[in-house]
């Protein structure tokens, strides 16, 4: 028997097809959203793996530092102390002048390295006090400005008035600023500009250090906070600067981010929580 289809039948069919098409589109959209979510989750996972690796390395260095640095600290103090006394009494024309002043200089370097390593040692308790961030920055800049001037680098400050005081260790935070400035200066061998700012942003005090230097390529960026990672030649950098910065910021319950455009410059942004 022949079946007759009316126009109405076709319309119903057409409507069904349109509805199906829409359903299909919706499914497609959901699939795209789901896979984007998956990609994001994967990225998050990768990030937290990197962070875990980072802190595992940190604690390995921390343990090593705790033991070795303490042992080296005292003999180094003796060497430096005697070298300083000798350097003061010896005349410039004396044949031992150069060796003695060299011993003094290098002993200073070792002491600094040991002090850096000791900061990693988590056993060393950090004492926190109500701290004025602008004063910390000014203190650090007094030290960094001499080097900056020699290297043709201008330091421009933009420090917000009446920043709330935060609970912090001012010595350690000064070291953070100095290390960031040193790196910035190193990144601008032909001279340039460092902009340093401090402002209140929500529940945080935000410090930014920006340079107009050579920038950090993406491949390198992922390693810069690792202890002993350096791109500088032997004898110039130990690769402890930024890992120390990272460690200190962590101890202050803060965060640090870096943005960089090779050839243009780099910005380090630190956020430190304001106590409530």
Ligand X SMILES: Nc1ncnc2c1ncn2[C@@H]1O[C@H](COP(=O)(O)OP(=O)(O)OP(=O)(O)O)[C@@H](O)[C@H]1O
* Crossing angle of the two packed helices 170-186 and 133-150, in degrees rounded to 10: 30
Candidates 68-76, 84-92, 155-163, 222-230; binding stretch for ligand X (CB under 6 A): 222-230
262 binds ligand X (CB under 6 A): no
Neighbouring C-beta atoms of residue 265, cutoff 10 Å: 22
With binding defined as CB under 6 A, does residue 266 bind ligand X? Answer: yes
* Closest CA relative to residue 200, chosen from 112, 133, 120, 123: 133
User: Which of the ranges 25-33, 68-76, 177-185, 252-260 carries the binding residues for Mg ion, by CB under 5 A?
Assistant: 177-185
Say how far apart CA 65 and CA 227 lie, in whole Å: 12
Q: Which does 213 bind (CB under 5 to 8 A by kind): ligand X, Mg ion, none?
A: ligand X
> What DSSP state is assigned to residue 222?
T
Binding flag, residue 229, ligand X (CB under 6 A)? yes
User: By CB under 6 A, is residue 61 in contact with ligand X?
Assistant: no
Rounded Cα–Cα distance for residues 184 and 186 (Å): 5
Per CB under 6 A, does 187 bind ligand X? yes
Question: Minimal distance in Å, beta carbon 219 to ligand X?
Answer: 11
Cα(263)–Cα(276) distance, integer angstroms: 41
Interface with Mg ion (CB under 5 A):
183, 241
Interface with ligand X (CB under 6 A):
179, 183-184, 187, 211, 213-216, 220, 224, 229-232, 237-243, 266
């Amino acid at each position: 028997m022949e079946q007759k289809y009316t126009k109405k039948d076709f319309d119903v069919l057409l409507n069904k097809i349109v509805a199906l098409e829409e359903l299909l589109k919706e499914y497609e959209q959901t699939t795209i959203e789901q896979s984007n979510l998956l990609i994001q989750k994967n990225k998050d996972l990768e990030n937290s793996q990197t962070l875990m690796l980072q802190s595992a390395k940190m604690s390995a260095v921390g343990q090593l530092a705790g033991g070795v640095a303490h042992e080296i600290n005292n003999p180094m103090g003796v060497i430096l102390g005697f070298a300083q006394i000798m350097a003061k009494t010896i005349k410039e024309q004396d044949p031992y002048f150069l060796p003695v002043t060299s011993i003094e200089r290098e002993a200073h370097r070792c002491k600094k390295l040991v002090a850096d390593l000791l900061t990693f040692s988590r056993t060393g308790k950090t004492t926190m006090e109500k701290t004025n961030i602008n004063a910390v920055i000014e203190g650090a800049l007094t030290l960094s400005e001499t080097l900056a001037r020699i290297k043709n680098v201008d330091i421009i400050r933009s420090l917000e008035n009446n920043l709330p005081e935060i609970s912090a260790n001012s010595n350690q935070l000064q070291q953070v600023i100095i290390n960031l400035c040193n790196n910035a200066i190193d990144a601008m061998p032909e001279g340039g500009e460092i902009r340093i700012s401090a402002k209140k942003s929500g529940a945080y005090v935000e410090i930014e250090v920006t340079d107009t230097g050579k920038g950090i390529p993406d491949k390198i960026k992922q390693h810069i906070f690792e202890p002993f990672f350096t791109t500088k030649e032997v004898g110039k950098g130990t690769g402890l600067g930024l890992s120390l910065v990272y460690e200190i910021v962590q101890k202050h319950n803060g965060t640090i981010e870096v943005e960089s455009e090779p050839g243009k410059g780099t910005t380090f942004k630190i956020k430190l929580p304001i106590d409530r």
